[in-house]
Protein backbone atom coordinates (compact mmCIF):
# COMPACT_ATOMS: atom_id res chain seq x y z
CA UNK A 1 0.00 0.00 0.00
CA UNK A 2 1.22 3.50 -0.78
CA UNK A 3 0.98 5.14 2.64
CA UNK A 4 -0.08 8.78 2.72
CA UNK A 5 -0.32 10.67 6.01
CA UNK A 6 -0.97 14.28 6.79
CA UNK A 7 -0.70 16.96 9.40
CA UNK A 8 -3.83 19.12 9.39
CA UNK A 9 -3.43 22.00 11.83
CA UNK A 10 -5.83 24.91 12.16
CA UNK A 11 -3.91 28.19 12.10
CA UNK A 12 -5.91 29.68 14.96
CA UNK A 13 -3.02 30.05 17.41
CA UNK A 14 0.59 29.07 17.98
CA UNK A 15 0.96 25.31 18.08
CA UNK A 16 2.81 23.62 20.92
CA UNK A 17 4.83 20.47 21.51
CA UNK A 18 1.73 18.27 21.52
CA UNK A 19 0.75 19.36 18.02
CA UNK A 20 4.24 18.84 16.66
CA UNK A 21 4.53 15.44 18.26
CA UNK A 22 1.42 14.51 16.25
CA UNK A 23 3.06 15.88 13.12
CA UNK A 24 6.22 13.95 13.95
CA UNK A 25 4.43 10.63 14.32
CA UNK A 26 2.59 11.13 11.02
CA UNK A 27 5.87 12.09 9.34
CA UNK A 28 7.71 9.09 10.76
CA UNK A 29 4.99 6.67 9.79
CA UNK A 30 4.92 7.86 6.19
CA UNK A 31 8.72 7.73 5.90
CA UNK A 32 8.92 4.34 7.44
CA UNK A 33 6.55 3.11 4.76
CA UNK A 34 8.21 5.08 1.97
CA UNK A 35 5.00 6.99 1.56
CA UNK A 36 4.26 10.69 1.56
CA UNK A 37 3.38 13.31 4.11
CA UNK A 38 1.07 16.22 3.39
CA UNK A 39 0.61 19.50 5.22
CA UNK A 40 -2.94 20.81 5.09
CA UNK A 41 -3.70 24.15 6.67
CA UNK A 42 -7.29 23.92 7.87
CA UNK A 43 -8.20 27.55 7.65
CA UNK A 44 -11.93 27.42 7.04
CA UNK A 45 -12.63 29.31 10.27
CA UNK A 46 -12.13 32.71 8.69
CA UNK A 47 -12.49 34.69 11.89
CA UNK A 48 -9.89 32.81 13.89
CA UNK A 49 -7.40 31.76 11.21
CA UNK A 50 -4.39 34.06 10.82
CA UNK A 51 -1.56 34.18 8.31
CA UNK A 52 0.86 34.74 11.17
CA UNK A 53 -0.05 31.37 12.68
CA UNK A 54 0.17 29.63 9.33
CA UNK A 55 3.66 31.08 8.80
CA UNK A 56 4.65 29.92 12.24
CA UNK A 57 3.52 26.36 11.49
CA UNK A 58 5.60 26.26 8.31
CA UNK A 59 8.55 27.82 10.07
CA UNK A 60 8.33 25.29 12.90
CA UNK A 61 8.12 22.26 10.61
CA UNK A 62 11.13 23.52 8.67
CA UNK A 63 13.13 24.05 11.83
CA UNK A 64 12.29 20.58 13.11
CA UNK A 65 13.28 19.11 9.75
CA UNK A 66 9.84 17.63 9.05
CA UNK A 67 9.65 18.14 5.30
CA UNK A 68 6.27 17.74 3.70
CA UNK A 69 5.80 16.51 0.17
CA UNK A 70 2.90 18.81 -0.52
CA UNK A 71 1.07 21.64 1.12
CA UNK A 72 -2.52 22.69 0.64
CA UNK A 73 -4.84 25.23 2.15
CA UNK A 74 -8.38 24.17 2.91
CA UNK A 75 -9.74 27.59 1.99
CA UNK A 76 -8.47 27.10 -1.59
CA UNK A 77 -10.73 24.10 -2.00
CA UNK A 78 -14.15 25.71 -1.56
CA UNK A 79 -15.34 24.64 -5.03
CA UNK A 80 -14.51 21.03 -4.34
CA UNK A 81 -16.31 21.14 -1.00
CA UNK A 82 -19.38 22.72 -2.62
CA UNK A 83 -19.46 19.97 -5.25
CA UNK A 84 -19.55 17.27 -2.60
CA UNK A 85 -22.13 19.06 -0.47
CA UNK A 86 -24.37 19.23 -3.52
CA UNK A 87 -23.71 15.56 -4.17
CA UNK A 88 -24.77 14.64 -0.64
CA UNK A 89 -27.97 16.65 -1.02
CA UNK A 90 -28.73 15.14 -4.43
CA UNK A 91 -28.20 11.61 -3.15
CA UNK A 92 -30.49 12.21 -0.16
CA UNK A 93 -27.69 11.96 2.43
CA UNK A 94 -28.04 15.57 3.40
CA UNK A 95 -30.72 18.23 3.37
CA UNK A 96 -31.20 21.93 3.81
CA UNK A 97 -32.63 22.37 7.23
CA UNK A 98 -34.88 25.24 8.22
CA UNK A 99 -33.48 25.85 11.66
CA UNK A 100 -36.31 27.92 12.97
CA UNK A 101 -38.83 25.23 12.04
CA UNK A 102 -36.53 22.59 13.45
CA UNK A 103 -36.22 24.40 16.76
CA UNK A 104 -39.99 24.76 16.96
CA UNK A 105 -40.47 21.06 16.36
CA UNK A 106 -37.84 20.17 18.93
CA UNK A 107 -39.36 22.51 21.47
CA UNK A 108 -42.77 21.04 20.84
CA UNK A 109 -41.34 17.56 21.28
CA UNK A 110 -39.96 18.61 24.62
CA UNK A 111 -43.39 19.92 25.50
CA UNK A 112 -42.16 23.46 25.77
CA UNK A 113 -44.12 26.41 24.50
CA UNK A 114 -42.40 28.67 21.98
CA UNK A 115 -42.59 31.68 24.21
CA UNK A 116 -40.81 34.96 23.53
CA UNK A 117 -37.71 33.88 25.40
CA UNK A 118 -36.92 30.80 23.34
CA UNK A 119 -37.65 32.36 19.96
CA UNK A 120 -35.16 35.07 20.89
CA UNK A 121 -32.62 32.35 21.54
CA UNK A 122 -33.24 30.82 18.16
CA UNK A 123 -32.49 34.06 16.35
CA UNK A 124 -29.34 34.49 18.34
CA UNK A 125 -28.13 30.91 18.19
CA UNK A 126 -28.47 29.84 14.60
CA UNK A 127 -28.94 30.79 11.02
CA UNK A 128 -32.22 30.33 9.26
CA UNK A 129 -30.89 27.44 7.22
CA UNK A 130 -27.96 25.05 7.47
CA UNK A 131 -27.14 21.78 5.77
CA UNK A 132 -27.57 18.71 7.92
CA UNK A 133 -26.47 15.15 7.39
CA UNK A 134 -29.23 12.59 7.38
CA UNK A 135 -27.96 10.35 10.10
CA UNK A 136 -28.62 6.65 9.38
CA UNK A 137 -28.49 6.17 13.17
CA UNK A 138 -26.30 3.12 13.07
CA UNK A 139 -23.51 1.64 15.07
CA UNK A 140 -20.06 2.65 13.77
CA UNK A 141 -17.17 0.32 14.46
CA UNK A 142 -13.49 0.91 13.77
CA UNK A 143 -10.13 -0.50 14.74
CA UNK A 144 -7.92 2.27 15.98
CA UNK A 145 -4.26 1.41 15.45
CA UNK A 146 -3.44 2.61 18.93
CA UNK A 147 -6.62 2.30 20.94
CA UNK A 148 -7.96 -0.88 19.38
CA UNK A 149 -11.62 -1.76 18.83
CA UNK A 150 -14.01 1.17 19.11
CA UNK A 151 -17.79 1.08 18.81
CA UNK A 152 -20.04 4.07 18.75
CA UNK A 153 -23.80 4.40 18.48
CA UNK A 154 -24.26 7.45 16.26
CA UNK A 155 -27.96 7.97 17.13
CA UNK A 156 -27.02 10.52 19.75
CA UNK A 157 -25.29 12.63 17.11
CA UNK A 158 -28.66 13.40 15.57
CA UNK A 159 -28.71 14.92 12.06
CA UNK A 160 -25.51 16.85 12.56
CA UNK A 161 -24.62 20.02 10.68
CA UNK A 162 -22.13 19.53 7.85
CA UNK A 163 -22.24 23.00 6.28
CA UNK A 164 -23.66 26.41 6.95
CA UNK A 165 -24.12 26.88 3.21
CA UNK A 166 -22.73 25.34 0.03
CA UNK A 167 -19.61 27.44 0.48
CA UNK A 168 -19.19 26.94 4.19
CA UNK A 169 -18.57 23.33 5.13
CA UNK A 170 -17.88 22.71 8.80
CA UNK A 171 -14.71 20.97 9.95
CA UNK A 172 -16.20 17.44 9.90
CA UNK A 173 -17.10 17.55 6.25
CA UNK A 174 -14.10 19.50 4.96
CA UNK A 175 -11.66 17.18 6.69
CA UNK A 176 -13.29 14.09 5.23
CA UNK A 177 -13.44 15.45 1.68
CA UNK A 178 -9.83 16.65 1.75
CA UNK A 179 -8.47 13.48 3.29
CA UNK A 180 -10.39 11.34 0.81
CA UNK A 181 -9.39 13.39 -2.20
CA UNK A 182 -5.73 13.26 -1.20
CA UNK A 183 -5.97 9.52 -0.70
CA UNK A 184 -4.85 9.75 2.93
CA UNK A 185 -4.47 6.15 4.09
CA UNK A 186 -3.62 6.74 7.75
CA UNK A 187 -5.06 9.50 9.85
CA UNK A 188 -2.73 10.01 12.76
CA UNK A 189 -4.03 12.71 15.04
CA UNK A 190 -4.65 13.74 18.63
CA UNK A 191 -6.97 11.80 20.86
CA UNK A 192 -9.20 14.86 21.21
CA UNK A 193 -10.56 13.95 17.76
CA UNK A 194 -11.61 10.44 18.66
CA UNK A 195 -15.21 11.45 19.33
CA UNK A 196 -15.36 13.09 15.88
CA UNK A 197 -14.35 9.92 14.10
CA UNK A 198 -17.83 8.27 14.02
CA UNK A 199 -19.19 11.34 12.21
CA UNK A 200 -16.31 11.21 9.79
CA UNK A 201 -16.85 7.54 9.06
CA UNK A 202 -20.55 8.12 8.35
CA UNK A 203 -19.54 10.81 5.87
CA UNK A 204 -16.95 8.59 4.20
CA UNK A 205 -19.60 5.96 3.71
CA UNK A 206 -22.21 8.38 2.40
CA UNK A 207 -19.71 9.79 -0.10
CA UNK A 208 -18.66 6.32 -1.21
CA UNK A 209 -15.02 6.80 -0.11
CA UNK A 210 -12.79 4.14 1.40
CA UNK A 211 -12.53 4.70 5.15
CA UNK A 212 -8.87 5.25 6.15
CA UNK A 213 -7.08 3.74 9.13
CA UNK A 214 -7.13 5.80 12.29
CA UNK A 215 -4.48 6.16 14.96
CA UNK A 216 -5.35 8.49 17.82
CA UNK A 217 -2.36 9.60 19.85
CA UNK A 218 -2.79 10.23 23.59
CA UNK A 219 -2.61 13.83 24.72
CA UNK A 220 0.39 15.50 26.25
CA UNK A 221 0.07 16.50 29.87
CA UNK A 222 1.80 19.10 32.01
CA UNK A 223 4.00 17.94 34.87
CA UNK A 224 0.99 18.22 37.20
CA UNK A 225 -0.88 15.86 34.86
CA UNK A 226 -3.32 18.50 33.65
CA UNK A 227 -3.82 19.06 29.94
CA UNK A 228 -0.85 20.81 28.38
CA UNK A 229 -1.74 24.44 27.93
CA UNK A 230 0.00 27.74 27.25
CA UNK A 231 -0.08 28.67 30.89
CA UNK A 232 1.45 25.33 31.83
CA UNK A 233 4.63 25.49 29.83
CA UNK A 234 3.32 24.72 26.36
CA UNK A 235 5.29 27.29 24.43
CA UNK A 236 5.08 27.74 20.67
CA UNK A 237 7.76 25.43 19.32
CA UNK A 238 9.62 28.33 17.69
CA UNK A 239 10.26 29.71 21.14
CA UNK A 240 12.54 26.76 21.79
CA UNK A 241 14.52 27.80 18.77
CA UNK A 242 14.77 31.33 20.13
CA UNK A 243 16.01 29.97 23.42
CA UNK A 244 18.72 28.03 21.66
CA UNK A 245 17.47 24.47 21.80
CA UNK A 246 18.68 22.13 19.09
CA UNK A 247 15.95 20.74 16.81
CA UNK A 248 17.54 17.28 16.98
CA UNK A 249 17.10 17.27 20.74
CA UNK A 250 13.50 18.45 20.48
CA UNK A 251 12.69 15.74 17.92
CA UNK A 252 14.37 13.08 20.05
CA UNK A 253 12.47 14.12 23.15
CA UNK A 254 9.10 14.48 21.39
CA UNK A 255 9.43 11.03 19.88
CA UNK A 256 9.74 9.51 23.34
CA UNK A 257 6.56 11.10 24.61
CA UNK A 258 4.18 8.19 24.45
CA UNK A 259 6.45 5.97 22.39
CA UNK A 260 9.54 3.93 23.21
CA UNK A 261 12.07 2.16 21.02
CA UNK A 262 12.43 -1.61 20.96
CA UNK A 263 15.56 -1.43 23.13
CA UNK A 264 17.05 0.74 25.88
CA UNK A 265 18.34 3.54 23.67
CA UNK A 266 17.38 7.07 24.58
CA UNK A 267 19.45 9.15 22.20
CA UNK A 268 17.93 8.67 18.77
CA UNK A 269 18.23 10.59 15.55
CA UNK A 270 15.19 11.06 13.35
CA UNK A 271 16.63 8.36 11.11
CA UNK A 272 16.99 5.94 14.04
CA UNK A 273 13.41 6.65 15.07
CA UNK A 274 12.08 6.04 11.56
CA UNK A 275 13.84 2.67 11.51
CA UNK A 276 12.47 1.53 14.83
CA UNK A 277 9.07 3.23 15.05
CA UNK A 278 5.92 1.23 15.49
CA UNK A 279 2.40 2.44 16.24
CA UNK A 280 1.91 -0.62 18.43
CA UNK A 281 4.48 0.76 20.82
CA UNK A 282 2.60 4.04 21.23
CA UNK A 283 1.06 4.00 24.69
CA UNK A 284 -2.62 4.65 25.34
CA UNK A 285 -2.24 6.89 28.36
CA UNK A 286 -1.20 10.54 28.26
CA UNK A 287 2.50 11.41 28.27
CA UNK A 288 4.05 14.15 30.37
CA UNK A 289 5.90 17.02 28.76
CA UNK A 290 8.70 18.02 31.10
CA UNK A 291 10.99 20.84 30.09
CA UNK A 292 13.69 19.64 32.49
CA UNK A 293 13.91 16.41 30.51
CA UNK A 294 14.06 18.32 27.26
CA UNK A 295 16.97 20.29 28.70
CA UNK A 296 18.72 17.05 29.57
CA UNK A 297 18.45 15.92 25.96
CA UNK A 298 19.62 19.29 24.73
CA UNK A 299 22.72 19.17 26.96
CA UNK A 300 23.49 15.75 25.54
CA UNK A 301 23.26 17.03 21.99
CA UNK A 302 25.38 20.09 22.77
CA UNK A 303 28.03 17.86 24.32
CA UNK A 304 28.33 15.90 21.07
CA UNK A 305 28.93 18.92 18.83
CA UNK A 306 32.41 19.57 17.46
CA UNK A 307 33.89 22.94 18.38
CA UNK A 308 33.08 24.24 14.90
CA UNK A 309 29.47 23.16 15.11
CA UNK A 310 29.20 24.62 18.59
CA UNK A 311 30.67 27.85 17.39
CA UNK A 312 28.26 28.25 14.51
CA UNK A 313 25.22 27.51 16.66
CA UNK A 314 26.38 29.90 19.35
CA UNK A 315 26.90 32.87 17.02
CA UNK A 316 23.53 34.51 17.54
CA UNK A 317 23.91 34.38 21.31
CA UNK A 318 27.43 35.67 21.91
CA UNK A 319 28.35 39.34 22.48
CA UNK A 320 29.24 41.44 19.48
CA UNK A 321 33.00 41.65 20.09
CA UNK A 322 33.45 37.89 20.19
CA UNK A 323 32.33 37.62 16.59
CA UNK A 324 35.61 39.19 15.57
CA UNK A 325 37.75 37.41 18.18
CA UNK A 326 37.40 33.81 17.17
CA UNK A 327 40.59 32.80 19.03
CA UNK A 328 39.22 34.14 22.28
CA UNK A 329 35.93 32.44 21.57
CA UNK A 330 37.62 29.07 20.90
CA UNK A 331 39.22 29.27 24.34
CA UNK A 332 35.80 29.72 25.88
CA UNK A 333 34.06 26.81 24.20
CA UNK A 334 34.87 24.07 26.78
CA UNK A 335 33.70 26.32 29.55
CA UNK A 336 30.51 27.43 27.84
CA UNK A 337 29.68 23.87 26.90
CA UNK A 338 29.90 22.86 30.52
CA UNK A 339 27.73 25.69 31.76
CA UNK A 340 24.82 25.83 29.35
CA UNK A 341 21.64 23.83 28.84
CA UNK A 342 20.64 25.80 25.75
CA UNK A 343 22.59 28.19 23.55
CA UNK A 344 20.43 30.96 24.94
CA UNK A 345 22.03 30.39 28.35
CA UNK A 346 25.25 31.84 26.92
CA UNK A 347 23.72 35.28 27.18
CA UNK A 348 23.35 34.94 30.93
CA UNK A 349 27.07 34.31 31.30
CA UNK A 350 28.03 37.71 29.96
CA UNK A 351 27.48 41.03 31.70
CA UNK A 352 26.24 44.26 30.18
CA UNK A 353 29.72 45.06 28.85
CA UNK A 354 29.88 41.77 26.98
CA UNK A 355 32.45 40.39 29.43
CA UNK A 356 32.18 36.98 30.99
CA UNK A 357 30.46 37.90 34.21
CA UNK A 358 32.51 35.75 36.55
CA UNK A 359 35.77 36.98 35.09
CA UNK A 360 35.08 40.63 35.02
CA UNK A 361 33.69 40.94 38.48
CA UNK A 362 35.26 38.99 41.22
CA UNK A 363 32.69 38.18 43.81
CA UNK A 364 33.41 39.44 47.25
CA UNK A 365 34.13 36.32 49.24
CA UNK A 366 34.91 35.58 52.84
CA UNK A 367 38.46 34.46 53.64
CA UNK A 368 37.11 31.24 55.16
CA UNK A 369 36.04 30.19 51.65
CA UNK A 370 39.69 29.91 50.71
CA UNK A 371 40.15 27.00 53.08
CA UNK A 372 39.93 23.48 51.73
CA UNK A 373 37.31 21.73 53.79
CA UNK A 374 39.39 18.61 54.39
CA UNK A 375 42.30 20.63 55.71
CA UNK A 376 41.07 24.10 56.71
CA UNK A 377 44.41 25.57 57.74
CA UNK A 378 44.97 29.24 56.76
CA UNK A 379 48.75 28.96 57.07
CA UNK A 380 48.85 26.07 54.59
CA UNK A 381 46.39 27.76 52.21
CA UNK A 382 48.52 30.92 52.25
CA UNK A 383 51.72 28.98 51.62
CA UNK A 384 50.21 27.20 48.59
CA UNK A 385 48.88 30.46 47.16
CA UNK A 386 52.33 32.04 47.48
CA UNK A 387 53.82 29.08 45.68
CA UNK A 388 51.24 29.31 42.87
CA UNK A 389 51.92 33.04 42.60
CA UNK A 390 55.65 32.38 42.16
CA UNK A 391 55.09 29.73 39.51
CA UNK A 392 52.63 31.84 37.52
CA UNK A 393 54.76 34.95 37.80
CA UNK A 394 57.52 33.09 35.95
CA UNK A 395 55.26 32.48 32.95
CA UNK A 396 54.92 34.90 30.08
CA UNK A 397 51.49 36.27 29.21
CA UNK A 398 51.55 34.21 26.00
CA UNK A 399 51.88 31.07 28.08
CA UNK A 400 48.53 31.64 29.77
CA UNK A 401 46.71 28.78 28.08
CA UNK A 402 44.87 26.10 30.08
CA UNK A 403 47.39 23.41 29.09
CA UNK A 404 50.57 25.31 29.93
CA UNK A 405 49.10 26.60 33.20
CA UNK A 406 48.08 23.11 34.17
CA UNK A 407 51.51 21.67 33.39
CA UNK A 408 53.10 24.41 35.47
CA UNK A 409 50.93 23.91 38.56
CA UNK A 410 50.19 20.20 38.43
CA UNK A 411 53.40 18.65 39.88
CA UNK A 412 53.24 20.90 42.94
CA UNK A 413 49.53 20.14 43.40
CA UNK A 414 50.12 16.41 43.14
CA UNK A 415 52.88 16.46 45.72
CA UNK A 416 51.05 18.70 48.20
CA UNK A 417 47.45 17.58 47.72
CA UNK A 418 45.30 18.68 44.81
CA UNK A 419 42.48 20.00 47.00
CA UNK A 420 44.89 21.82 49.32
CA UNK A 421 46.59 23.61 46.44
CA UNK A 422 43.86 24.10 43.84
CA UNK A 423 40.89 24.95 46.04
CA UNK A 424 42.31 28.21 47.43
CA UNK A 425 43.47 29.07 43.92
CA UNK A 426 40.00 28.53 42.45
CA UNK A 427 38.42 30.81 45.06
CA UNK A 428 41.16 33.40 44.70
CA UNK A 429 40.55 33.63 40.96
CA UNK A 430 36.77 33.51 40.76
CA UNK A 431 35.42 34.08 44.27
CA UNK A 432 32.95 31.28 43.63
CA UNK A 433 32.78 27.68 44.76
CA UNK A 434 31.11 26.62 41.54
CA UNK A 435 33.33 27.81 38.76
CA UNK A 436 35.34 26.41 35.88
CA UNK A 437 38.61 24.66 36.70
CA UNK A 438 41.29 27.14 37.79
CA UNK A 439 43.51 26.50 34.75
CA UNK A 440 40.76 27.61 32.38
CA UNK A 441 39.85 30.59 34.55
CA UNK A 442 43.47 31.68 34.83
CA UNK A 443 44.00 31.48 31.09
CA UNK A 444 40.86 33.51 30.51
CA UNK A 445 41.64 36.39 32.85
CA UNK A 446 45.32 36.59 31.92
CA UNK A 447 48.49 37.14 33.91
CA UNK A 448 47.93 40.55 35.43
CA UNK A 449 44.50 39.89 36.93
CA UNK A 450 45.56 36.43 38.08
CA UNK A 451 48.47 37.75 40.09
CA UNK A 452 46.40 40.59 41.51
CA UNK A 453 43.69 38.23 42.67
CA UNK A 454 46.09 35.75 44.25
CA UNK A 455 47.74 38.62 46.04
CA UNK A 456 44.39 39.80 47.41
CA UNK A 457 43.68 36.27 48.66
CA UNK A 458 47.05 36.07 50.39
CA UNK A 459 46.32 39.35 52.16
CA UNK A 460 42.93 38.06 53.27
CA UNK A 461 44.67 35.12 54.93
CA UNK A 462 47.35 37.22 56.63
N1 LIG B 1 -7.66 20.81 12.08
C2 LIG B 1 -7.80 19.92 13.19
C3 LIG B 1 -7.14 20.50 14.43
O4 LIG B 1 -6.30 21.36 14.29
C5 LIG B 1 -7.18 18.58 12.97
C6 LIG B 1 -7.98 17.70 12.14
C7 LIG B 1 -7.48 16.30 12.03
O8 LIG B 1 -6.29 16.04 12.32
O9 LIG B 1 -8.26 15.46 11.60
O10 LIG B 1 -7.45 20.10 15.50
Closest CA to ligand 1's atom 2: 9
- Ligand 1 pocket: which residues have CB below 6 Å? 8-10, 42, 175, 189, 193
Q: What residue owns the CA closest to ligand 1's atom 7?
A: 8
Ligand 1 atom closest to Cα of 200? 9
pTM of the full predicted structure? 0.82
Give the architecture (CATH level 2) of 359-461: Orthogonal Bundle (1.10)
Instruction: Give the ligand 1 atom nearest the CA of 10.
Output: 4
Domains in the chain: boundaries: 359-461
- What single DSSP character describes residue 227? B
CA 8 to ligand 1 centroid distance, Å: 5
CA of 216 to the centre of ligand 1 (A): 11
pLDDT tens digits for 371-426?
999 999 999 999 999 999 999 999 999 999 889 999 999 999 999 999 999 999 99
Mutate to test the pocket of ligand 1, among 37, 170, 185, 193 (most ligand atoms within 8 A of CB): 193
Q: Residue 106 burial by CB count (10 A; 0-12/13-18/19+): exposed, middle or buried?
A: exposed
CA of residue 180 to ligand 1 center, whole Å: 15
123-129: Cβ within 8 A, 24+ apart: 126/99, 127/99, 127/164, 128/98, 128/99, 128/100, 129/96, 129/97, 129/98, 129/99, 129/165
- How far is 22 from 27, CA to CA, in rounded Å? 9
Span 35-94, pLDDT tens digits: 999 999 999 888 999 999 999 999 999 999 999 999 999 999 999 999 999 999 999 999
Residues in contact with 435: Cβ distance below 8 Å, sequence separation at least 6, in sequence order: 358, 426, 429, 441
Q: What is the pLDDT of residues 278-327, one digit of tens each?
A: 999 999 999 999 999 999 999 999 999 999 999 999 999 999 888 888 87
**What's the N-to-C CA distance of the chain in angstroms?**
83
**E-assigned strand segments in 126-223:** 129-133, 139-144, 148-153, 161-165, 168-169, 186-190, 213-217, 220-221
Q: Closest Cα to atom 6, ligand 1: which residue?
A: 8
Residue with more model confidence, 34 or 365: 34
pLDDT digits (tens, 9 = 90+) for 240-273: 999 999 999 999 999 999 999 999 999 999 999 9
Amino acid sequence: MNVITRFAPSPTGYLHAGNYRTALFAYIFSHQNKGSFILRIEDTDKDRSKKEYEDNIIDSLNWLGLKYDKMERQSDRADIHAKYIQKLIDSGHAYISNEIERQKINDAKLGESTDGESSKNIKKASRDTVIRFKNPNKKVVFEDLIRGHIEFDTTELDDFVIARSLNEPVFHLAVVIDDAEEGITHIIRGEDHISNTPRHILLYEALGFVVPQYAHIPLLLSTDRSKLSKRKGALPITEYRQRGFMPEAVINYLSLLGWHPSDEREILSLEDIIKDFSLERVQKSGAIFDEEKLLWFNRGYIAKLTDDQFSSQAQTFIPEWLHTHSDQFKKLIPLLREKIGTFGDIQKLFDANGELAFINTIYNYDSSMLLWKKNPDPIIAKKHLEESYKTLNEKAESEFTPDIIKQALWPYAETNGKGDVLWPLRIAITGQERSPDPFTSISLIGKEKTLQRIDTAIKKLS
